[in-house]
Amino acid sequence: MTPTSEITSSTAVPVPDSVQAVPAAAETVLREMFDVHRATTAQISPVVATLVDQLAAFTLNGGKRVRPTFAWSGYRCAGGRTDEAIARQALTVCTALELIQACALIHDDIIDRSDTRRGRPTVHRALEAQHVDRTWSGDAGHYGVSTAILLGDLALSWADDVVASRDLPAEIRDRVQPIWAAMRTEVLAGQLLDVIGEASGDESVDAAFRVMRYKTAGYTVARPLQLGSALAGADETLSEALGAVGDGLGIAFQLRDDLLGVFGDPAQTGKPSGDDLVAGKRTALLALGLQAADADDPAAAAELRSMIGRPLTDDELDRARAILRDAGAERAVEDHIDRLVAESFEALDAAAVDPSARTELVTVATAIAGRQR
């Protein structure tokens, strides 16, 4: 059998001295993890190691490391120590979130039939192209999807290996485990809800908020904050407060994204104008707009419905925006964002959080919200 390999916290990784330093530190940790996996899988077969290299390149290509950053912020909020050995173990666990995210993105890109991500071909498309280049036999598209499913599974398994590793003190594993378990179930449930909602044409505001909460807010902000705080031994009260802060901020970020997906300037967002409408994305903005228009202006509601999920001319796009604006949906979402952010920062103020860590979290949250504007 292949010798087992384990990920150990390396002494080469610098402990982040601020949340801004987390992305670079996390990337160093990821590189070390993939070095180990490359070596282990090369013993099974060099062709598998080559695919692992592609998984590594995908995981390391860009990405803002939002989840490790929030997790580290949660660690610091709960007074997590920065002496080297302990902080490195915490950083390793925070970084494992990027392996979950690699799986989520790879599988999501298959589900969304996306061709590109971060300016490069998605994993299943890149693997499909290799099949074509090598003039292999069979259906290249199906080969790409098949191998990408398996690479996503590997990333998910390796994330779990990090958190379960016996190189981490059992005390840390015990604190992390229930949050880690809940987070994975929630994000997968959120993805299922998203797929089901799109297929069933669920237009309800509730459904849109539920997907946001589980697929985005919990997974991206609330659970990472709680994970980090657990690493520092946070009590239940602080954990719950950080969960509430994270849910509020996470939903606010997503609502901001939803506004940009319809009203955003392509020059600033980097995405085509009205992208979400064309893609037929069931956002809260759209749900609110349809709900209000159904009550006040059924003809406009019908018109808006006819413009979901198909290519739109500039005039049609302008019309869709006007309907959402007239229905009060744009304003309602803006107000909701303001309220969520205010409540989140109030909740943060009320919690027993280290003051410098609080400032850092506000800075990070504002930077992430700002980047999306």
Q: Which of 170, 267, 299, 315 binds a copy of itself (CB under 8 A)?
A: 170
Q: Which of 182, 312, 362, 369 binds a copy of itself (CB under 8 A)?
A: 182
Q: Which of 115, 153, 296, 349 binds a copy of itself (CB under 8 A)?
A: 153
Partners of 117 in beta bridges:
120
Question: CB of 265: closest distance to a copy of itself in angstroms?
Answer: 30
Q: Does 133 bind a copy of itself (CB under 8 A)?
A: no
The answer to whether 32 touches 111, Cβ cutoff 8 Å, is no
Alpha-carbon span 275 to 260, nearest angstrom: 9
Contact window for a copy of itself (CB under 8 A) among 36-44, 79-87, 339-347, 349-357: 36-44
Q: Does 58 bind a copy of itself (CB under 8 A)?
A: no
In the complex with a copy of itself, which residue's Cβ is closer, 129 or 164?
164
Question: CB of 190: closest distance to a copy of itself in angstroms?
Answer: 8
In the complex with a copy of itself, which residue's Cβ is closer, 216 or 273?
216
Question: CB of 30: closest distance to a copy of itself in angstroms?
Answer: 17
Contact window for a copy of itself (CB under 8 A) among 84-92, 107-115, 320-328, 334-342: 107-115
Q: Does 273 bind a copy of itself (CB under 8 A)?
A: no
Q: Does 294 bind a copy of itself (CB under 8 A)?
A: no
Count Cβ atoms within 10 A of the Cβ of residue 182 and give its class: 0-12 exposed, 13-18 middle, 19 or more buried. Answer: middle
Q: Does 48 bind a copy of itself (CB under 8 A)?
A: yes
Q: Does 156 bind a copy of itself (CB under 8 A)?
A: yes
Footprint of a copy of itself on residues 183-242 (CB under 8 A)?
184-186, 188-193, 195-196, 198-201, 210, 214, 218, 222-223, 226
Footprint of a copy of itself on residues 302-321 (CB under 8 A)?
none
Q: Does 97 bind a copy of itself (CB under 8 A)?
A: no
In the complex with a copy of itself, which residue's Cβ is closer, 161 or 297?
161
Q: Which of 39, 44, 57, 85 binds a copy of itself (CB under 8 A)?
A: 44
Q: Which of 11, 133, 137, 236 binds a copy of itself (CB under 8 A)?
A: 137
Question: CB of 194: closest distance to a copy of itself in angstroms?
Answer: 10
Q: Does 67 bind a copy of itself (CB under 8 A)?
A: no
